[in-house]
Structure 1
Amino acid sequence: MPDLLVKLSWSLLCLAHLVPAAALLQPSLLVPLYDVDPASGAGLLLRHRAALFLAVALVCAYAALAPDGRRAAGLVVSVSVVGFLVLYVGAGAPAGALRTVALTDALLLPPLTVAVWSAWRA
C-alpha cells in the first residue's frame, strides 16, 4: 500500500478528531456539534470528551509520521470510530446532532481501514 495513502488516511483521521476536540477550548461549539448547553453537566462531560478527542487526534498525527506507533494508534482510533457507530446503532440511530457524528464516523471507515490494515499487515 502506498505510504502516501497511509499518511493521508492517518491525517484525515486526525483532522476529523480535531473538530470535536476544539470544544475543549471553545465550549460554545457544543451547541452546534451536539445540541448541548456547555454550562450543563452533559456539557462538562462533552468537554472532557473533547480532551480525549484531542488525544486521539495527537495519536493519529503521530502515526502519520511514525510507523512504529501505528498499531497502537489503530486500536485507539478504532475504539473511537467503531465504538461510537456501534453505540449509535444500538440506540436506534437517533436523529439530530448525533446523526451527523455517525455519518462522519461512517465516512472515516475507509481511511480507518487503510490505516489499520497497513499497520497490522507489516
Structure 2
Amino acid sequence: MRILTTLALLVVGIIHLIPVSGVLGPEHLARLYGAAPSDPSALILMRHRAVLFGIVGAVCVYAAFKPALQWLALALAFSSVASFLWLAWSTGGFNAHLQRVVQADVLALACLLAGAGALLWTERTLPTAP
C-alpha cells in the first residue's frame, strides 16, 4: 500500500511542476493558461504562482521517497488543489486552458485521497514495536 502513496505523490508532484515554466514570462503563461497578464503587477503574481507550484511539486516528489514527510506533502498539495478547485468552481466562466487545469486538479485530488487512504491504511496495519 505504501507504493500507492508514493505513486500518488509523484503524480501530484508532476502536476504541480508543469506550470513552473510560467516563471519564464508571459508567452509561457499564455501557453499554459490561454491568457497572459499585460499588467506588470499581475505578471509578477502569476510568475510567483509558478514558483510556488514548483515548491509544492518538489516537496511532493521528495516526500514520495521520504515517508516521514508524506503527511505534510499530502496536506500541502491538498490545500493547493482544493483551493484552486473551489476558486474555479465558485467563479466559473474560465477558458478551455483553465478547464484542463481543473481536470488535472481533479485527477490530483483523486490521487491525494487515494494516497492518504493508503498511507492511513499502512500506518494502521503496521505492527507497533513493543
TM range (shorter): 0.7 to 0.9
C-alpha contact 2:16 2:56 (8 A) present in aligned 1: yes
| Counterpart AA for 1:113 | L
2:92 maps to: 92
| Counterpart AA for 2:53 | F
1:4 matches 2:13: no
1:73 matches 2:73: yes
Distance in structure 2 (CA, Å) of the matches to 1:55 and 1:61: 10
Distance in structure 1 (CA, Å) of the matches to 2:33 and 2:61: 25
State the structure with more CA Rg: 2
Show structure 1 runs of 4+ deviating over 4 A: none
2:22 maps to: 23
| Counterpart AA for 1:91 | T
Superposed CA deviations along residues 39-77 of structure 1, whole A, max 9, x for unmatched, are 533222110000100110111012101111111111110
Structure 2: runs of 5+ lacking an equivalent: 124-130
2:128 maps to: none
| Counterpart AA for 2:45 | L
What's the % identity of the aligned pairs? 31
| Counterpart AA for 1:43 | L
CA RMSD of aligned residues (A): 1.8
Map 1:98-113 onto structure 2 (within 5 A).
Answer: 98-113=98-113
C-alpha contact 2:60 2:77 (8 A) present in aligned 1: yes
| Counterpart AA for 2:19 | P
| Counterpart AA for 1:54 | G
Higher RCO, 1 or 2 (CA under 8 Å, sep at least 6)?
2
2:127 maps to: none
TM-score (normalised: structure 2): 0.81
